[in-house]
Chains A and B, each alone.
Chain A
């Protein structure tokens, strides 16, 4: 089965000291950049367009087309921003990618900047992942020292400076306009569009914001040709991508495969659901993509097929939940995340998530009332499509899809706490015991539980 995998982004992950520039060069690194420099910027954009590469951050917008929106005649400086603010529950592809092959992202960024005429690029990394930030900073220094960044790169006449920026820990900053506000030193909140970032983005200048994985996919396209890239995947979803398998699978991890592979195939590669259990539901691309059930195991994991199945490819963060899991509890935990991460700018997201968490908590604790599910669905309807950005659509999607697939479980919340139907200990993976909240204590009361401060990553990480 493993022959279905196509390690391109992940090609050097198992090499010793894979993050070093020398390792990267030994494995064909910076070939794509040299190819790009031999082409005109327009030809580079055309090549990426022809490859069929689409945004890997969730929305799936064609990358080459996005680059093409940058107005060449605009006298203002152009900017490239690489969005590495990965923080959706279940999503874990960009961080290992940056940790294992930071040079891939740097090379992609140079090519992209060259294509759009930017001389300053920003790599915006989620602030909590300090070890990744350190590693990318070290990699950028290495690239500067080797002449891949700075003035007159490789004698091409093209210059580029890269700034590695640490975010301040907000999921909303993964939304591109909120990211730009945050990068400008403001509170991270989505901006009104139009103007779109391609016209007025960072510092009101034309800006391309690309996902980390999209940028990392570019060097191989230039090195091997767009036709080579486009022959992978399906007719409309071309190329190869990283699927992040987590949860109750035997071998969780990153699996790079062409778009269009099915969940069943990926599960086989990952040795299936854990011993003695059945798959109950899964997300195809993070918590904000409507969840799927075993009935969808053979749906090809590409943009179009998943949309046809009523969900999205998203970030390809596949969280698997087996039959020990309470869908009510899972949904509540997800919505709590969105409530905590809602920026508060618009009413439906701020208040809708606040209310939903209370209702879902009641259902989990067996304190629901007849009609709560209808109320939840009504709230979802009042939020859906009416919020400022798509953050709110994310929590609506997980709630409505969960109720659609497992309504009876929610109805059970009128009478029984979820921990009685699904003892939480049974879902634990690593032998730890997850304790149910004691009866009578409502977690929904404000202020919410204090945010735990995570200890800084222990151990020495070699830069």
Chain B
């Protein structure tokens, strides 16, 4: 699609001549040239409403030789020859702005000393700059009962509100959760939430950030700090692979809140609620502070670092002398630098390629896809690619649940450019419905066939595929063919922030850092030289699933595990028997199920103390900046691994994250041979028997441990239900609302039935990792056959 050539318009503000594209509003043009115009309702990413009238400017000449009455700059389109004067050069504009401020303040409470916004409040700042020195208002101020809840995470103090409607417009225009509105009228006007449906969704926290006064505050930051006591850093969110820039505010080394950064290449000025609120998980009583070593009594005891390092080194050495291999599970949450340290540690210290960053359902096809993606020089799909696409196909991917910022970008493209979205999914989810997506209903496993049936491919189509594609054989093979022939652009979006970084760092059984294959003899000698080691493993390693099978069978004697949650693994029972059998070293921030089985536990620093890099789904490197700097040399995974390597007589030679990144960058400058995927379609997965096909994915707000401490956010999690089509329910003799039981592999899950029209037949959907505490747990993956029976009671 060709971009229309925009016409330029030349006009004057405060005697400065500006040339802007036609259609630019005066306030944007002023901003771009550094001319300040105060505003409350205007926001560059929201449509203008011209409600607050604070941005009034004097239009000396409308471009036709005639003056206009004062106009709001936010809704005034710059015209050829227009002459505009702001408060800097016009008394008319100055008085208009001063008058507006006086009006806004007559009913505004003088509660700045206890208001969270004070110190970073546009109203306060503007009152200082252009307001009157004293108030002329002598009447009683308007009051409201305060505060009221608007959703689980937000509080509203209505008397502070200036009715700019930024929150309403955000809900309508950006997130699509239109549950805020103006209610009452005139002086009694106020922001109101729907009485039956609280304002929620996954983006509600943004309205508190864009509120220009202290009216909307978040439950978790209210009365927590003064803005001037905060130390801020721009960093990257670790809660998904979106790579959102955020501002982290800490007071006395403790993170108080997180705000969206301003990065038009990624998250614009938005942040999802998980990114905003899920930052307190490392504050609980389960935070590890000292190493733990399992004693002869079979229990973990606090130990000194030399003691723990010696115990760990001895354990690893003993499994090596027994001729058995070791394995490394890195999870998907590590920074690039830490992942590189694990990768190097596995190869140089443990002499193994048994390393995998995936703690979820995985397949050999997916491993091949990751290698293909890592080694072929296909241009990465970025947020800008989405902006410019004509058609986006979603395969095994729910943008709002799995990468919320992709959802917002798509919604922006739908709203601004009317692009088409096609969802290949079992049903049209709430998020995809907000995108106006067309549904290609498909049972899990049928995605490749559905993709082949799509006729509108080409014509600037982008396919976004999620990590669930591993459960659907053939999907990634087909996508690699489409991407290689450059028919379409394909973006693979994992859920976890560290997964792509781990792949780049070589945390795969088939890949060394920077896209080198483990089977490549030349690469092996390259690394031998680079890492200054004499020995180097040459066999392809086990992937995570095989590692656990091998460990349970005793073929792998020791496991090094980095912050893995057993519940994330496709078969937690297998994992438990593997951990019981092997010698386990766990590096983690908080005690976990893994530490219960570990022989040595090393505490590592939480992310807010670390510096590092994430590689987001667009393959961009995003900086992580330490906010909690009370420890000048925090115990990162990299440092602990270095100490452990020393204890085993090997120099890991990674004194700090910068050095790890330097080594990686040096490697990345050399080209690698592209590894293409086999064109043969892999065989279908041999699932066990059942009467329905399970579809499942993790909602953004689930039972995951990183949400610990974000209680208000968890309260707003969607209700748990079993979704199925009316025909499927009829076929099974089940009525809506009835409780049913799903079972597989001896595990059970209960929930009420919800009918979804248009859903693929014979499929039931439940949220993954949600409601576990209420409903029990089902060990089964998307695409698997499970048994559904009526009348499952509430546990």
Contacts and interface: CB of A to CB of B under 8 A. Distances in A.
A348 B100 contact: yes
Interface size bracket, A side: 20 to 34
B103 A382 contact: yes
Contacts of B100: 347-348, 382, 386
B70 A343 contact: no
B99 interface: yes
A346 B52 contact: yes
B162 A347 contact: yes
Contacts of A342: 185-187
Contacts of B186: 339-344, 350, 353-354
A139 interface: no
A61 B96 CA distance: 28
Q: Which of A340, A342, A354 has the most chain B CB atoms inside 10 A of its CB? A: A354
Interface stretch (B43-51, B430-438, B483-491, B525-533): B43-51
A368 B53 CA distance: 29
Given A346-B52, A354-B107, A387-B53, A445 B185 contact: no
A351 B104 CA distance: 7
Given A354-B187, A355-B139, A345 B163 contact: yes
Contacts of B185: 170, 172, 341-344
A354 B53 CA distance: 17
A187 interface: yes
A444 B139 contact: yes
Given A354-B187, A355-B137, A382-B96, A347 B182 contact: no
B56 interface: yes
Nearest to B75: A192
Contacts of B163: 344-345, 347, 350
A279 B372 CA distance: 93
B140 interface: yes
A144 to B, nearest CB: 36
A351 B106 CA distance: 8
B53 A348 contact: yes
Contacts of A387: 53
B66 interface: no
A347 B104 contact: yes
A457 B182 CA distance: 32
A352 B182 contact: no
Contacts of B75: 192
A446 interface: yes
A434 B51 CA distance: 39
B184 interface: yes
Nearest to A194: B77
B188 interface: yes
B140 A346 contact: no
B95 interface: yes
B136 A375 contact: yes
Interface string A438-455: 000000111100000000
A388 interface: yes
A77 interface: no
Contacts of B422: none
B48 A192 contact: yes
Contact of B107 (A346, A351, A383, A447): A351
A353 B186 CA distance: 9
Interface string A181-200: 00000010100100000000
Contacts of B102: 382
B69 interface: yes
A358 interface: yes
Contacts of B103: 347-348, 350-352, 355, 382
A348 B70 CA distance: 13
Given A343-B186, A347-B103, A382-B102, A445 B53 contact: no
A382 B95 contact: yes
Contact of A388 (B50, B106, B137, B139): B50
B725 interface: no
A96 interface: no
A192 B42 CA distance: 13
A446 B142 CA distance: 7
A388 B102 CA distance: 17
Interface string A372-395: 000100000111011110000000
A350 B139 contact: no
Contacts of B189: 343-345, 350
Contacts of A353: 186-187
B54 interface: yes
A256 B622 CA distance: 75
B181 interface: yes
A346 B56 CA distance: 12
A383 B48 CA distance: 20
A192 B184 CA distance: 21
B187 A385 contact: no
A207 B103 CA distance: 35
Contacts of B51: 345-347, 388
Given A347-B103, A350-B163, A351-B107, A388 B70 contact: no
Contact of B99 (A341, A348, A358, A447): A348
Contacts of B95: 381-382
Contacts of A383: 99
B187 A344 contact: yes
Nearest to A342: B186
Contacts of A352: 103
Interface in B48-85: 48-54, 56, 69-70, 75
Contacts of B56: 386
Contacts of A192: 48-50, 75
A344 B140 contact: no
Nearest to B104: A347
Contacts of A351: 103-104, 106-107, 187
Nearest to B139: A358
B181 A382 contact: no
A386 B189 CA distance: 19
B171 to A, nearest CB: 15
Contacts of B140: 445-446
Given A344-B188, A344-B189, A386 B70 contact: yes
Contacts of A354: 106-107, 142, 186-187
Contacts of A382: 95-96, 99-100, 102-103
A355 B102 CA distance: 11
A19 B698 CA distance: 66
Nearest to B105: A351
A8 to B, nearest CB: 37
Nearest to B102: A382
Interface in B134-153: 136-137, 139-140, 142
Nearest to A339: B186
A348 B56 CA distance: 12
Contacts of A350: 103, 163, 186-187, 189
Contacts of B137: 355
Interface string A172-216: 100000000000000101001000000000000000000000000
Interface string A117-138: 0000000000000000000000
Contacts of B99: 348, 381-383, 386
Most interface-central of A187, A342, A381, A386 (chain B CB within 10 A): A386
Contacts of A345: 49, 51, 163, 182, 189
A341 B70 CA distance: 24
A109 B421 CA distance: 43
A396 B3 CA distance: 47
Contact of A385 (B69, B107, B181): B69
A347 B142 contact: no
Nearest to B163: A344
Given A189-B182, A345-B51, A446-B140, 14 more contacts: A192-B50, A342-B187, A347-B163, A353-B187, A355-B106, A358-B139, A382-B99, A385-B70, A386-B53, A386-B69, A386-B70, A386-B100, A387-B53, A446-B142
9 contacts: A192-B75, A345-B189, A346-B52, A353-B187, A354-B187, A382-B95, A382-B103, A386-B99, A447-B188
Query: Lowest 4 CB-CB distances: which A-B pairs, in order?
Result: A344-B189, A382-B99, A351-B103, A342-B186
